[in-house]
Amino acid sequence: MNGVTRLATGAVLGGAALLALLALTLGFGGGAIAQEPESMVLQLSPSRDSGVGGTATLTEAGDGVRVELNMRGLPDAGVEHINHFHTGGTCTADRAGNVAPATIPLEAIVANEDGTGSGTTTLEDATLNSLFDPGKDRYIALHSEVEEGEGVPSVISCADVVEAAGGGAVSTTLPESGGPLPAMLLAAATVLALGAAGGVVRLVRRGS
């Protein structure tokens, strides 16, 4: 290994160390192994042409997971919509008529005048890892209005409880005060650090 190579390697390693430091600073991990984000957002999309969509924000709290649903497009103000985690199926299957059993009830949502509605439920002793277990199909389903004597009404909005392709969450969240997402900051830092490391390597090579 000649001096130039050593210098270049040092620059790259320095860049990597900087990246690791940035990752830690931004709250990713706390060790060498990346950890689950503390909050995940799932998008509920309409089933059966309901036009009802929304988000489910799952946040790991000290003693469980808080599940917050924020819906929009609800057709009738004042109507209560029950919703649950269903286990052993998917939204696609549900839409095809194969409804999986409801396993975890969530706080019912009452539609506001503007078609929005929200509900928050804390699932004690749950973890994001357990809810997002890749070995278990799960979905969050919001039902249409309960009609007396008609059993559980059909699902009108649905989100599969899965992590997005690429291994990350669908998205991570910050408090609603806003600001750039950590992932974006990390990406920017990565570009900067790699650019810096590359610049040093180029300088070293040019000098040789």
Q: Residues interacting with Cu ion, by CB under 5 A? A: 84, 102, 141
Judged by beta carbon, residue 141 or residue 170, the one nearer Cu ion is 141
- Select 85 or 201, whichever has its Cβ closest to Cu ion: 85
Distance of closest approach, residue 99 Cβ to Cu ion, in angstroms:
8
Q: What torsion do the CA atoms of 177, 118, 114, 173 make, to the nearest 10 degrees?
A: 30
Q: Which is nearer to Cu ion, 95 or 192 (by Cβ)? A: 95
Q: Which is nearer to Cu ion, 84 or 138 (CB)?
A: 84
Sheet of 155-160, strands arranged across: 102-110, 80-87, 138-143, 155-160, 39-46, 53-61, 64-72, 117-124
Instruction: Report in angstroms how near the CB of residue 127 gets to Cu ion at its nearest.
Output: 22
Residue with Cβ nearer Cu ion (72 or 81): 81
Q: How far is the CB of 14 from Cu ion (least distance, A)?
A: 53
Q: In the bound complex, what is the minimum distance in angstroms from residue 84's beta carbon to Cu ion?
A: 4
SS3 202: helix
| Residues forming a β-bridge with 41 | 57
Residue number with CB closer to Cu ion (154 or 171): 154
User: Are 112 and 142 a contacting pair, CB within 8 Å?
Assistant: no
Q: Does residue 12 sit in helix, strand or coil?
A: helix
What is the smallest separation between the CB atom of 197 and Cu ion, expressed in angstroms? 51
Residue 208 CA neighbour count, 13 Å, CB half:
13
CB of 129 to Cu ion, least distance (A): 23
Burial of 66 (0-12, 13-18, 19+ CB in 10 A): middle
The answer to whether the CB of 194 falls within 8 A of the CB of 186 is: no
Residue nearest to Cu ion (CB): 84
